[in-house]
A and B are shown apart, each in its own frame.
Chain A
């Protein structure tokens, strides 16, 4: 039995230990905010935060996170008012919105590590997250806004 804490709640799994965390979250735990985009850690849509670090849940097995603390978009802030989330709304970032949970989690992890990232640091840190709609200019502006106070 694998035990993992997700958004502060303990969850357990006794199936395939190699099951990617992404599918445990989405299909077993019902936390569908984390998205499937590529399955190969190429697009960042599945990004969650594990112990303060942004992680691609599509290539992380449930076994790898046993005993650790996973935060998904649903658990980032109880009212959805994390500075990054507020900045995203302030800047009207999303178009289709599908990649945005992963983008927000990546940005939140970036700001935990580096509260005042530069233009280049933002662009570098966010480049693992693809947005096919092309919201990059606004994502960059929103990360900057979140870092300076919404």
Chain B
């Protein structure tokens, strides 16, 4: 714990830290961490907690050290570092709140400070994969408990009483026998001299004594600033002497600049310079695409200057990428056998023997993230030192990539993390920060690189495009006896390695090989698919197409057998059980399977809960329909019921959405509700409008007029969220992403109920108007 007058000094405090060599070595060994500078890491014993998480296996693992995360000033102000990025999930509030809870700090006296990118110091900072709460609930509690213990020990020494007689309560330490009290601020200096207690010996609070956790009464720390325009996003950083830049990038992924003429651009008032930006060949992870930058005194001038540039590009090998043709390729691939990635029983034979085979071929196009804040970054590079200000989900990764790109030591790079105006996976890729770093190095001044919305759509790391084909074989009683699922889609691995054509393990584990239905004969296949643009993570990733296909197929089976959707779904899920992983080393979101197994009792529970609360089976007006879907992703269980209304012109509205989520032990139910409400909007956006399409290798959409998202007038009228109360030792699981996958299939099942039309290709577009 740092006890200092000015918490802003925290950043330079590492010099004062002492690393206990012996314990560090043993702890590192225990966690299997091979590198980094972990100061002290959690040993999550079975005795203390009934579960383990995959946190320690993330790059740079976990750091549990109050001296790194907590500072108490003599006036009692407690400063807690938020080391994860805030993109709207509330994590910048939730994680410090956990520390404050366990520390017995009064939240009104807590200041949250954003940590810069330094995984050696803070542990893993990749804010993605819906991991923050599930990986940090325990470590943050341990940090808080350590700080509390140090304060209690300091007070006990001051009073000359055994530490067991004192207790921290609401920002002070109390000796009840004598009635004496000392505030945290008064104890700060003494507590700093206490040694950090061992993690194993820490006494954590009884959850029944929680003041903040699980209550949902604390608003996000940035709420006031957001409503007054003071909240600082990436685009809001202003440095003395800073220039403003926009970049013209190759319109086709992998294309190159042939020539450019800056003359007209230089005539624009406010434009100061036109210069080439280095690009890397595709694929090269997150390296910039290159192009021509216009440098100006403000962004408006830079944009106007860019419009005046004369540019000649060589489109390269991807110049023929055409979404209409590619869809046909994917469909054809899905109709032929492909790489078998899961096999149980004999699906071929069972399909042949089936009384009836239901076939569904589901198409989902590319999607763009379009966070409201387009990519933006500020860089100030001087000599061999670089400082970055950017809305990045991966501050540690950004630091590494900036260092590599500039050829300077990582220790010379500071990455300041601003608020993110939305992320959804786009801002896990730091190409925009690398562009700013390259430009600042050449200019010798600070520079802000602003992406326009058109840039954002044209140069995103897109959600993949996919065909999912499912064949379900039914016996004469309507029981599903065979299931063949072929999943064809360009892989995210293609962004890291040229020529990758099969899904990565983590993609297979998102709704394909982990599909939990109790069916005797299952075959999952993954035919080849080549990529022709940058593919990346989009909120909930491969779960979107997989849940869409699987849960739509449940609706199709219900229709084929004349049974209720929900009953069909429960019958397919089968008996309450722990599913044995169907493949070796099945991707489980990085979590140990015994802590986070596929538990069909929990899957059934969210279906039953949403059916009860959402009044499944209720009478709905003519033209309305109800649809249901469930999906496990990011080790959480989520079921959604959508009520849709389709009028005689085919216009679709959504009067009501009900969602039940089981995300285990949770911190802030109010933010869980906001994530699920938002997931319904994102699900409706992708279902109704979501499509990025290519012609001649170029993205056809430009802005929010042709890449539409849901607006208020078409958003669900009511979205209800029900959270399953956790068991005493239920590990926390994901919230940010898992709300998205079940929405679209629930909507499709609802549309079928309302109209008898089965939509298998997204977006819906005008399909209901026919």
- B partners with A: yes
Q: State the CA gap A94–B223 with chains docked (Å).
A: 7
Whether A130 contacts B711 in the complex (CB less than 8 A), given A16-B270, A89-B224, comes out as: yes
B343 on interface, CB distance cutoff 8 Å: no
Partner of A27, one of B86, B298, B419, B715: B298
Pick the most buried of B88, B244, B675: most chain A CB atoms within 10 A of its CB. B88
Interface string of A42-73 (1 = CB under 8 A from B): 11010000000000000000000000000011
| A89 with B453: CB separation less than 8 A | no
| A96 with B235: CB separation less than 8 A | no
Nearest opposing residue in chain B for A84, CB measure: B227
Minimum C-beta distance from B304 to chain A (A): 8
| A20 with B709: CB separation less than 8 A | no
Interface string of B666-685 (1 = CB under 8 A from A): 00001000110111111000
Minimum C-beta distance from A63 to chain B (A): 12
A115 on interface, CB distance cutoff 8 Å: no
| B233 with A95: CB separation less than 8 A | no
B719 on interface, CB distance cutoff 8 Å: yes
Minimum C-beta distance from A34 to chain B (A): 7
Whether A97 contacts B421 in the complex (CB less than 8 A), given A19-B298, A32-B235, comes out as: yes
| A22 with B682: CB separation less than 8 A | no
B269 on interface, CB distance cutoff 8 Å: yes
Chain A residues with CB below 8 A from B226, complex form: 94, 97, 100-101
A38 on interface, CB distance cutoff 8 Å: yes
Interface string of A101-135 (1 = CB under 8 A from B): 10010000000000000000011101111111111
| A33 with B230: CB separation less than 8 A | yes
Q: State the CA gap A39–B451 with chains docked (Å).
A: 11
| A43 with B88: CB separation less than 8 A | no
Q: State the CA gap A94–B233 with chains docked (Å).
A: 14
Stretch in contact with the other chain, from B68-76, B365-373, B544-552, B632-640 = B365-373
B729 on interface, CB distance cutoff 8 Å: no
Whether A98 contacts B703 in the complex (CB less than 8 A), given A23-B300, A127-B713, A134-B715, comes out as: no
| A97 with B231: CB separation less than 8 A | yes
Interface string of B441-479 (1 = CB under 8 A from A): 000000000101110000000000000000000000000
A99 on interface, CB distance cutoff 8 Å: yes
B595 on interface, CB distance cutoff 8 Å: no
Minimum C-beta distance from B626 to chain A (A): 20
Q: State the CA gap A100–B421 with chains docked (Å).
A: 10
| B238 with A30: CB separation less than 8 A | yes
A12 on interface, CB distance cutoff 8 Å: no
Q: State the CA gap A73–B682 with chains docked (Å).
A: 27
A15 on interface, CB distance cutoff 8 Å: yes
Interface string of A122-150 (1 = CB under 8 A from B): 11101111111111111110000000000
Whether A138 contacts B228 in the complex (CB less than 8 A), given A27-B299, A36-B374, A37-B453, comes out as: no
Minimum C-beta distance from B139 to chain A (A): 25
The DSSP consensus for interface residues of chain A is loop
B263 on interface, CB distance cutoff 8 Å: no
Chain B residues with CB below 8 A from A37, complex form: 372-374, 453
Q: State the CA gap A51–B718 with chains docked (Å).
A: 35
| B229 with A101: CB separation less than 8 A | yes
Q: State the CA gap A42–B231 with chains docked (Å).
A: 23
Partner of B681, one of A45, A92, A94, A134: A134
Chain B residues with CB below 8 A from A45, complex form: 372
Nearest opposing residue in chain A for B719, CB measure: A137
| B372 with A42: CB separation less than 8 A | no
| A23 with B299: CB separation less than 8 A | yes
B712 on interface, CB distance cutoff 8 Å: yes
Chain A residues with CB below 8 A from B682, complex form: 132, 134
| A73 with B228: CB separation less than 8 A | yes
Chain B residues with CB below 8 A from A89, complex form: 219, 223-224, 227
Whether A28 contacts B298 in the complex (CB less than 8 A), given A96-B87, A104-B227, A137-B719, comes out as: yes
Q: How large is the interface on A (under 10, 10 to 19, 20 to 34, 35 or more residues)?
A: 35 or more
Pick the most buried of A27, A38, A85, A129: most chain B CB atoms within 10 A of its CB. A27
| A127 with B453: CB separation less than 8 A | no
A40 on interface, CB distance cutoff 8 Å: yes
The count of residues in chain B whose C-beta lies closer than 8 Å to any C-beta of chain A is 69
| B229 with A32: CB separation less than 8 A | yes
Q: State the CA gap A39–B374 with chains docked (Å).
A: 11
Pick the most buried of A39, A42, A72, A98: most chain B CB atoms within 10 A of its CB. A98
Pick the most buried of A80, A85, A89, A134: most chain B CB atoms within 10 A of its CB. A134
Interface string of B63-97 (1 = CB under 8 A from A): 00000000000000000000000111110000000
| B224 with A95: CB separation less than 8 A | no
Interface hits, B370-423 → A, CB 8 Å: 370-374, 419-423
Whether A98 contacts B233 in the complex (CB less than 8 A), given A27-B299, A40-B704, A92-B219, comes out as: yes
| B229 with A16: CB separation less than 8 A | no
Whether A129 contacts B228 in the complex (CB less than 8 A), given A15-B269, A96-B420, comes out as: no
| B229 with A15: CB separation less than 8 A | no
Q: State the CA gap A101–B419 with chains docked (Å).
A: 15
Partner of A137, one of B233, B679, B713, B716: B716
Interface hits, B492-506 → A, CB 8 Å: none
Whether A27 contacts B269 in the complex (CB less than 8 A), given A95-B678, A96-B372, A136-B712, comes out as: no
Chain B residues with CB below 8 A from A124, complex form: 713
Q: State the CA gap A92–B218 with chains docked (Å).
A: 10
Whether A40 contacts B705 in the complex (CB less than 8 A), given A73-B229, A132-B371, comes out as: yes
Whether A72 contacts B229 in the complex (CB less than 8 A), given A27-B299, A92-B223, comes out as: yes
Chain A residues with CB below 8 A from B422, complex form: 96, 98, 132-133
| A80 with B712: CB separation less than 8 A | no
Whether A97 contacts B674 in the complex (CB less than 8 A), given A35-B373, A80-B228, A136-B715, comes out as: no
Nearest opposing residue in chain B for A139, CB measure: B712
Q: State the CA gap A34–B373 with chains docked (Å).
A: 12
Minimum C-beta distance from B702 to chain A (A): 9
Nearest opposing residue in chain B for A73, CB measure: B229
Minimum C-beta distance from B133 to chain A (A): 16
Chain B residues with CB below 8 A from A136, complex form: 681, 710-712, 715
Interface string of A8-25 (1 = CB under 8 A from B): 000000011011101110
B220 on interface, CB distance cutoff 8 Å: yes
Chain B residues with CB below 8 A from A22, complex form: 300
Minimum C-beta distance from B685 to chain A (A): 8
Chain B residues with CB below 8 A from A31, complex form: 229
Chain B residues with CB below 8 A from A40, complex form: 453, 703-705
Nearest opposing residue in chain A for B268, CB measure: A16
Chain A residues with CB below 8 A from B87, complex form: 96
Partner of A97, one of B299, B419, B423, B714: B419
Can you list 22 contacts pairing A with B, beta carbon distance less than 8 Å? A20-B300, A22-B300, A24-B300, A32-B236, A33-B229, A43-B704, A85-B227, A89-B219, A92-B219, A92-B223, A94-B223, A97-B419, A98-B233, A99-B421, A128-B711, A130-B704, A133-B88, A134-B682, A136-B681, A137-B715, A137-B718, A140-B712
> Could you tell me which A residues sit within 8 Å of B by CB distance?
15-16, 18-20, 22-24, 26-28, 30-40, 42-43, 45, 72-74, 76, 80, 85, 88-89, 92, 94-101, 104, 122-124, 126-140
Q: Which 7 A-B residue pairs are closest in the complex by CB-CB distance?
A: A33-B229, A134-B681, A98-B421, A23-B300, A96-B88, A73-B229, A134-B678
Q: A85-B228, A96-B423, A131-B372 are in contact. List 12 more A-B contacts (CB 8 A).
A: A19-B300, A34-B229, A35-B373, A37-B372, A40-B453, A74-B228, A96-B371, A96-B419, A122-B712, A127-B713, A130-B704, A132-B709
